[in-house]
Amino acid sequence: MRDIARSELVQIFRNRMVLVTGLLIPVVVSAFLVYRHDTFAEGASLGYIAAVVVFTVLAFGLYTTAVTTLASRRQNLFLKRLRSTAAGDADILTGLVLPVTFIALVQVIAILAVFGVVATMPANVALLVVATLATTAMMLALALATAGLTNSPEHAQVTTLPVSLGVIAVASWVGLSGTEDLALLKRLLPGGSAAEVVIGAWNGGVPVADSLPLLAITLLWVVIAVVLAARLFRWEPRR
């Protein structure tokens, strides 16, 4: 697994498209939100900005890049060759997505740390960490499922749009309108519950016990996505 992860990390920094779309764009967008937080927080909250930052980085930096990576490695038969080695399926997939996951988490931590300095620190750092990790797990599971429907890296530009834009839209919806209306719908949509936990963790005033059901819904999406991935994921190109 470590050899696969090391090789994948090298490939990431050699691929200009991945560097721009998966690493640079999320950072630029998030940095702009942090820089203009006074404007964007009008009528919303600092927690809303934190949630949008988390979902922007994880949607584009992690989810989209992971789908593109898996589709590319399938297309050039690298996945098929790896399965002929002693590495198990779980080790192969973990090795391929580990570098981009690490990079995305570093980006989230760095941007939120800067945001905490220029604005205010989160009220509950531990809860924020848990919510971010749960969201990361959800986006990784969704990436595995989406990769099963993606034939090529070029195709990934289309197949990833519904989820990547959808989770950001849901997080924005929850952050801007709250959950007083249509609470069940907002919480059941992918990213809705996680966004509510991130917002509550940053703004404060939400008991930890109230966040546990929301985290459970997020983890339920992980289970759903893993089940879909088990049915849809392919190790060889479709014929």
Domain boundaries, the chain: 2-232
pLDDT(211) > 60: yes
Mean pLDDT of 117-122: 85
Radius of gyration of the chain (CA): 18
Helices (H) and strands (E) in the chain, counts: 14, 0
Which token pair is 209? 């016990």
Selection from 27, 178, 47, 205 nearest residue 108 by Cα: 27
CB under 8 Å to 234, separation ≥6 — which residues?
Answer: 74, 148
pLDDT(45) > 70: yes
Contact 1, 95 (CB under 8 A): yes
Which token pair is 17? 């498209």
pLDDT(17) > 70: no
pLDDT(34) > 90: no
Mean pLDDT of 59-83: 88
CB under 8 Å to 55, separation ≥6 — which residues?
Answer: 135, 167, 168, 171, 191, 195
pLDDT tens string 127-178? 999 999 999 999 999 999 999 899 888 888 899 999 999 999 999 999 888 8
Mean pLDDT of 173-201: 91
Which token pair is 2? 């470590």
Of residues 38 and 81, more confidence is placed in 81
CB atoms within 10 A of CB 180: 7
Of residues 45 and 226, more confidence is placed in 226
Which token pair is 21? 């779309």
| The model scores a pTM over 0.75 | yes
| 3-state secondary structure (DSSP) of residue 154 | helix
